Amino acid sequence: MQAKSNAQPSSAPAESADAIHRHLGGRVRQLRLERGWSLEALARASGVSRSMLSEIEREQANPTLAVTLRIARAFGMSLGDLLELPGATSAVTVIRADDRAYHYRSDAHCQIRTLSPLNLEKDVEFYEVQLKPGGALRSAAHFAGTREFLTVQKGQVRVESAGDAETLGPGDSASYRADVPHAIVNTAKGEAVLFLVDIYR
């Protein structure tokens, strides 16, 4: 049996929420003015009405999470960055399979989907490539020292680089120079699916 407690329910969560809403108004106004945006410009960029934005800036509205997230995205920021609360954003970045923003290229013969975040300055890029029968991904030389690493998940492809060529099947991997013209060619009758990593030096 547990002893009864006389402690009263804490109002800290409600107080914290109020503090966030008060902070948000000044933060949105600061970021908007730094960019030289009018309320109308921010409304267009975020999809949030001008009247709602005005109320938020004057601390007369408690916006929903969805509205706050739209404002953050208009500024090109995460929710945590907008609120200046490091713990408010997840440590896990997710790229959903149906997010068209990550479809780097899509045509009748080749579809490329980036699997690495678009907003990061990076020297490594990660892609999923789908090649239809007869399809090919032909690339000009990248920066000096660039290499590609490829793993075939499905189908059969031929990798060409610097005059050399190798045929790969499911589960096979290869690495090769990408600072010369290079290509990945579907040599089978079915679709080929592969994962491709570019490493820039």
- The predicted-structure confidence for 26-72, as pLDDT tens digits, reads as follows 889 888 988 889 999 999 999 999 999 999 998 888 888 888 889 98
| Confidence check: pLDDT of 5 > 60 | no
Contacts of 193 (CB under 8 A, 6+ apart): 128, 129, 130, 131, 152, 153, 154, 155
Strand partners, 147: 177, 199
Residues 106 and 188 in one domain: yes
121 in a domain, yes or no? Answer: yes
| Confidence check: pLDDT of 119 > 90 | no
Contact status, residue 148 vs residue 175, Cβ threshold 8 Å:
yes
**Which of 194, 87, 91, 85 shows the shortest CA–CA distance to 136?**
194
Q: Of 88, 109, 140, which residue is a domain's last?
A: 88
170 in a domain, yes or no? Answer: yes
| Residue 86 pLDDT grade (very low, low, confident, very high; cuts 50, 70, 90) | low
Residues 139 and 182 in one domain: yes
94 in a domain, yes or no? Answer: no
The pLDDT tens digits for 131-155 are 999 999 999 999 899 999 999 999 9
What local confidence, expressed as pLDDT, does residue 172 receive?
97
Which carries the bigger pLDDT value, residue 194 or residue 9?
Answer: 194
What local confidence, expressed as pLDDT, does residue 42 receive?
93
Percent of the chain with pLDDT over 90: 48
| Residue 13 pLDDT grade (very low, low, confident, very high; cuts 50, 70, 90) | very low
Q: Which residue, chain included where needed, has tokens 């890029």?
A: 125
Q: Of 42, 68, 88, which residue is a domain's last?
A: 88
